[in-house]
Structure 1
Amino acid sequence: LCEGAVANSFVTVVEVNSGVASMARHASTQPTDVELQILRVLWDDGPSTARHVHEALQGAKQTTYSTTVKMLSVMLDKGLVRRDEEASPHRYRAAVTRESAGKRLVKELVEKVYDGAAMSLVLQALKGAKASPEELAEARQLLDELEGK
């Protein structure tokens, strides 16, 4: 995590109202890479304190504790996490499932990279990764189901 990641997690829009400029933040609902790292901690470990999230991230990202707290606050505003304020210290939990986040990211990837052709993504994934025999069998079963066999 870096300080710049916080700035990249939302778009700042300047609105001019009666000659006075005011700043409004419009958050993206899609998690950033850093937010996905935080979500992975929450998905894997369950409800966690900001301190636990910070310590879990230290293997992958060197950041300050205050940056982790700021990222959790941004994610709270975006609806990606929920905070239990009755617990002391506060505990954060993922407000989105791994599956729903994955579906949104895959949909965006299919649209942006493959012009809506989902099968192109599937073929690329199977070619680019070493699929296990079990994964290949699962893919065959899915194809059979889609073909109505």
Structure 2
Amino acid sequence: MFDGPYTFYHALAGGVIIGLSSFIASLVTGKIPGISGVCSRLLVPATKDKSWRLIFLIGLIAGASLAFNTITAASVYRPSASLIVMAIAGLFVGIGTRVGGGCTSGHGVCGMGLGAKDSIIATMTFMAVAVITVFITHHLIA
């Protein structure tokens, strides 16, 4: 199921694992596990609950590493832009995360799962901007 060409089942399994992980993290910690909030609080000296946040971050990195090293379909996903373009994009994502009150995972997975109207609006905005960005970069700046 998880080897060979990428299929609907890969996406389904990933979605189920993300949703279940989010639910378990919320249950165990009592906090919404949006990645930007979890990780940004690691940089605040006064944060008392750093251990689960660090475990969460390590799990994200380890999970991605495990997928890229064990699932054949994952090997086709490589950066399509230079390191400088990726760094600039990351900077814009970080700014947008702070301005938008959370990241796509926090709003899209956790906030929408809780039925938060601001998260629904934020996710719709993220998706609209993503569609526009892909259109511009693939059709107008080619």
- Shorter-chain TM-score bucket reads under 0.3
Rg larger for: 1
Higher strand share: 1
Higher RCO (CA-CA < 8 Å; seq separation 6+): 2
Q: TM-score, normalised by structure 2?
A: 0.25
Q: TM-score, normalised by structure 1?
A: 0.24
